Amino acid sequence: MPLTPLDIVNKEFKHGFRGYSEDEVNEFLDEVVRDFEALIRENDELKENTSGMTERLEQYRKLEATLQSTLVVAQQTAEEVKVAARKEAELIVREAESKAQQIILQAEDKSKATMQDFERIKRESDQFRARVRSLLESQLSLLSENSGARVLAD
């Protein structure tokens, strides 16, 4: 069992012949009691401080764990955002490529239609020229016949 200040105060020493001076022993014991009480108070304060420090340390450990988990969640979220952005970018590119393909197909269709119109107009123009030429040739032929007949009639 640990020694207490009360044990020191109540300690009785036997008196002997030519023993120590009782006043000096009592003064020394009083000084020991004061120092011992101061040490006990200091020890109690240190225990309280240690307890407080232990609690604060535990709070800091919990805070650290919370920060670690928050960091992990933030990293995961950042990665998810990157993946989502990448997917969205890919979707936008695919849609743009699809629209571009549609525009190209429409342009090709218009080009084919324009070429078909051009070919049709060219055929019609050739036919019109042939008819005009044929008409002119027949008119010339008629004129030649009429001129030859007039010459004969004259």
**Is residue 130, in this structure, part of any structural domain at all?**
no
**Is residue 33, in this structure, part of any structural domain at all?**
yes
The per-residue pLDDT for 149 is 63
Q: How far apart are CA 154 and CA 149, in angstroms?
A: 9
Of these ranges, 22-26, 30-34, 48-52, 93-97, the one predicted with the greatest mean pLDDT is: 93-97
Q: Is pLDDT at 70 greater than 70 in this prediction? A: yes
Residue whose entry in the numeric block shows the structure tokens 């300690």? 11
Q: How far apart are CA 154 and CA 150, in angstroms?
A: 6
As for how many domains the chain has, the answer is 1
The single-letter DSSP state of residue 19 is: -
The per-residue pLDDT for 57 is 92
Exposure on the CB side of residue 112, measured as CA atoms within 13 A: 6
**Is residue 10, in this structure, part of any structural domain at all?**
yes
The DSSP annotation for 12-44 comes to -----TT---HHHHHHHHHHHHHHHHHHHHHHH
**Is residue 144, in this structure, part of any structural domain at all?**
no
Q: Is pLDDT at 7 greater than 80 in this prediction? A: no
**Is residue 134, in this structure, part of any structural domain at all?**
no
**Distances from the Cα of 134 to the Cα of 13, 130, 143, angstroms:** 161, 6, 14
**Average predicted confidence (pLDDT) for the chain:** 89
**Is residue 25, in this structure, part of any structural domain at all?**
yes
Domain that includes residue 16, residue range: 5-114
Percent helix, strand, coil in the chain (nearest 5)? 90, 0, 10
The per-residue pLDDT for 9 is 78
**Is residue 69, in this structure, part of any structural domain at all?**
yes
Q: What is the pTM of this model?
A: 0.45
**Is residue 20, in this structure, part of any structural domain at all?**
yes
pLDDT in tens, 100-141: 999 999 999 999 999 999 999 999 999 999 999 999 999 998
